[in-house]
Amino acid sequence: MAKVAEKEKVQMVDIFIMDKHYQVPEGLTIQAALEYCGYNLIRSVGCRSGFCGACATIYCFKNDPQLRYALACQKAVEPDMYLTQIPFFPTAEALYNVEDLEPKEGENKLVELYPIILTCFGCNNCTKSCPQDLEVMEFMSAAIRGDYEKVYEKSFDCLMCGLCAARCPQGLQPYVMAMAGRRLRGAYLAPKSQHNLDRVKEIEEGRFDAEMEKLKQMPTDELREL
């Protein structure tokens, strides 16, 4: 019985949600702690695995005003943590058709789409706020130079959580600018995959039409088994 009681003993952690005191089991993520305290998460919750960026969270500690940033589904609660979640962060994303933006010598399509990017003065707040530890200011600098390859390389793991935009004193949205850079790189500069081109050609030539028609006519139970 003593061993069972020892196993059931859980270390509790004091946290504050919207300035209200709670105690939660040690080891819970911020997201799990919110739900443990009775919060019904309808917004600011998505994949729960650190991929979608929906659960961007700002927090600090008792008697420490420094703001910190994390994804609520990844960051474990700590003693005397003050929690809040930011709502959906609105973005001013440019409207464009990638097919109309083929990069040419001497042109910077990213500056054309987002001229405000030139107001970046390198404060590095964007990098400090990134829960993925991305070098945000570096890919912003690359965007200003028109270096699409560097933008792609440095921003590839961006989750589009919006925390970099929340911290930018100039009102920039690095994550949507980086998305445009990755699209341009993928459309015009990335090496073409020959096996993918071959498969597209086969589809256009109708190689799989008969098989697709057979699948359409197949009974549901057979299709599920297949």
Annotated domain spans of the chain: 12-85, 98-189, 194-225
For 192-224, the pLDDT digits (tens) are 889 999 999 999 999 999 999 999 999 999 999
What is the structure's pLDDT at 155? Answer: 96
pLDDT band with cut points at 50, 70 and 90 for residue 4:
very low
Class of domain 12-85 (CATH, top level): alpha beta
CA distances in angstroms from 167 to 3, 100, 109, 112, 117, listed in the order given: 49, 32, 25, 23, 15
For 10-34, the pLDDT digits (tens) are 899 999 988 889 999 999 999 999 9
Query: Could you tell me if 182 and 144 are in contact, meaning their C-beta atoms sit under 8 angstroms apart?
Result: no
Burial 109-129 (b: 16+ CB within 10 A, else e): bbbebbeebeebeeeebbbbb
Q: Report d(CA 52, CA 48) in Å as an integer.
A: 8
Q: Does this model's pTM top 0.75?
A: no
For 51-89, the pLDDT digits (tens) are 788 888 889 998 887 888 888 898 999 999 998 766 666
Any bridge partners for residue 76, and if so which? 29
CA dihedral (31, 34, 38, 43) in degrees, to 10, reads -60
For 84-107, the pLDDT digits (tens) are 766 666 678 899 999 999 988 888
